[in-house]
Copies of this chain bind each other. A is one copy, B any other.
Amino acid sequence: MSLVLNEEQSILQQSAAEFFSSVSPVTAFRDLRETSQAYDAETWSQMVELGWSSILVPEDLGGLEFGLTGMGVLAIEGARTLAKSPLSSSAAVSVAALNHCKPSTQRDALLSALASGAKTAAFAHLETAQFNPSIIRTQSASAADGFNINGRKSCVENAQSADVVLITARSPDAGYSDSNGFVLLIDPNAEGVESNSIGLVDEREYADISISDFKIAKDEKLEWNDGAALTQVINTATVIAACELYGCSLEAFERTLEYVKDREQFGHKIGSFQALQHRLAHQYTQLELLKTVIYDALSAVEKMRKDASLAVSHAKALANDTAKLVTTEAIQMHGGIGITDELDIGLFYKRARVLRTLWGDSVYHRSHFASLSGY
């Protein structure tokens, strides 16, 4: 179990921090709000050049096999500037999903294309507004030369801008369990695939996808490697969301710290008021715990440790709670300007508010943690 970044990971972290603050600062997020683009293509191609799209891709398919901790470091640093890109949805989650599928020409080609930046993908699994990863109603039935698909997927990140959407599904005759589910490759813009964009408060690209009697070819259906595959992909998505929450929280906290050291009221820096000091000190303790637990969860998923699901539920629950505390306090301590759109603080709160819901809230993850612990 490693809770400290190694030399290569530290170097990645530094270059990511420099990249995001210079190439994709919060102003870039603001500029994109004015357009209908999901992300800036030029920025993404720079990220691809840096090798970030191939971090999780196997070496024999042109990837770096750098490991999930490296991806987590990028997610943390990217969240600090609210950077928009297909990094999480495509390079992390979709690649992880494909990695857990049995090799096939289609799968290998897609992985290579994702690594090279030729394509991006989105991963569509959840079907309900409240997080419930065990429900899969989407079905695919055998049909002439391929499969016939029916189902709905809820709030899929970067679906409309992706070239391929990975849809989890099951056979019509099977009650769902990991071992008989599979992954379907779908063009989100094909006829018969209806996607409705969902504008959430974090102003990113989400869509509900509705598929009825849509046909795919035989080789566009991929099989999971084993019965644990889906759980591992969900763990990847969840821990990456936790990383983004950590990045948002850390940035909001550090900006608040800077603000209270500068802002004066009643003739004193407000950062010298003991009540604020104690609240900030407490937040700092929570952020340090979160850092530990995030690194542990990344390492657990990367190494496929037996307690990976437990570590991930821990990380997401603590990330949710810490982000709620820290981003809410950041607004409160900034006072009036904290609620203006002009200041970035509110943007971190809004992004964190969405991430707290995506991939499971704390009530869900504490219950999951308890179940996995046997109580």
- Nearest CB of B to A266, in Å: 11
In the complex, which residues 237-280 of chain A have their Cβ closer than 8 Å to any Cβ of chain B? 273-275, 277-278
Copies of this chain, complex-wide, total 2
Task: Report the contact-size class of chain A (Cβ under 8 Å from the partner).
Answer: under 10
- Nearest CB of B to A282, in Å: 11
**Residues on B with beta carbons closer than 8 Å to the beta carbon of A277:** 275
| Closest B residue to A273 using CB positions | B274
**Residues on B with beta carbons closer than 8 Å to the beta carbon of A273:** 274
**Residues on B with beta carbons closer than 8 Å to the beta carbon of A278:** 275
- Nearest CB of B to A90, in Å: 43
**Residues on B with beta carbons closer than 8 Å to the beta carbon of A274:** 273-275
**Residues on B with beta carbons closer than 8 Å to the beta carbon of A275:** 274-275, 277-278
Give bound CA distance, A274 to B275, whole Å: 5
| Closest B residue to A281 using CB positions | B275
- Nearest CB of B to A292, in Å: 26
Give bound CA distance, A267 to B275, whole Å: 19
Give bound CA distance, A274 to B278, whole Å: 10
- Nearest CB of B to A333, in Å: 14
- Nearest CB of B to A265, in Å: 13
Give bound CA distance, A273 to B276, whole Å: 12
- Nearest CB of B to A267, in Å: 15
Return the CB mask of A125-152 against B: 1 if under 8 Å, else 0.
0000000000000000000000000000
Could you list 6 examples of A-B contacts with CB < 8 Å?
A273-B274, A274-B274, A274-B275, A275-B275, A275-B277, A275-B278
Give the interface of A toward B (CB within 8 A).
273-275, 277-278
Q: Top 6 A-B pairs ranked by shortest CB distance?
A: A274-B274, A274-B275, A275-B278, A275-B275, A273-B274, A275-B277
